[in-house]
Amino acid sequence: MRRGKPATRETVCVTGMSGRLGGILHRALAPDFELVALNRSAVPGVRTIRADLRRPDSIGDALAGIDAIVHLAAYPFADDDAGEILPTNVLGTLHLLEAARRAGVRRLVFGSSLSAIGGHRPAFLELCRGRRFLSAARKIAFLEAQESPRPDSLYGVSKVFGEALCRLYVDRHGFSCVCLRLAEVRPDDRPNPHDPHGARILCRHADFLAGVRAALARTRRPGFEIRTLISDDFRDAEPRGVPRRRKPGARVAGGAARRA
């Protein structure tokens, strides 16, 4: 029996592939996609477009033939230097969108951040420091996936701008964009040991990869979406003794011994 012609793999351009997130994507997506890196420096093992997003002329027409873009390149430090954050994260995103428009690329996954809504968090974190978390938590509403922006830093502000630029290009130029508000993706795939709330703002590698794959598939249809990408890891804020008082002899394992 004659075999059918193999399906052509989509060509996906990943910005910032030399960074932490880009490296995770490179290893996982290479078997299923034709990957192209857009990076300031060459990325070993992948075709690289050497470009600086702060300089639109360095991109030129290099995006021709690309099916979709995953935009992860960013200056990551929260309030370090507005002179770096704004040109890289805001103007860089605008320059990328404009280059994509000129090249006829209309599908983009934007790596946003929980920092875009992190300003909603202080009341929740203050509550976590108390001992009566489970009963008191019912008084605080959970953030919705489409929560209005409330950035917690200049970095968060830059991500809000990026989401707004994606919205503009969807409305004005017919793009299809999914903005992923990412929790923290750590190199060791574990909560930050120096942050008592790290387990609540963690995105594990498997969840990050699944989210990007789903977002790429979603961009095959027109539209704009903002999604929160965070792992279902939650550490009980009440001390280990509470379950034992409620049920004598109960065995308590994991991280319940310490308050988050």
Where in the sequence numbering do the catalytic residues fall? 155
Q: Three-state DSSP class for 224? A: strand
Q: Which helix (H) or strand (E) holds 237?
A: none
CA distance 232 to 37: 30
Three-class SS of residue 117?
coil
Cβ-based neighbours of 138, under 8 Å, separated by 6 or more:
none
- The 3-state secondary structure of 42-73 reads CCCCCEEEECCCCCHHHCCCCCCCCCEEEECC
DSSP 254: G
Residue 217: CB atoms within 10 A of its CB come to: 11
HSE-CB at 162 with a 13 A cutoff on CA atoms is 36
- CB neighbours of 92 closer than 8 A, spacing ≥ 6? 53, 54, 73, 74
Q: Residue 259, exposed/middle/buried by CB under 10 A (0-12, 13-18, 19+)?
A: middle
Closest CA to 200 of 250, 127, 136: 127
Give me the helices (H) in 188-230, please: 205-218
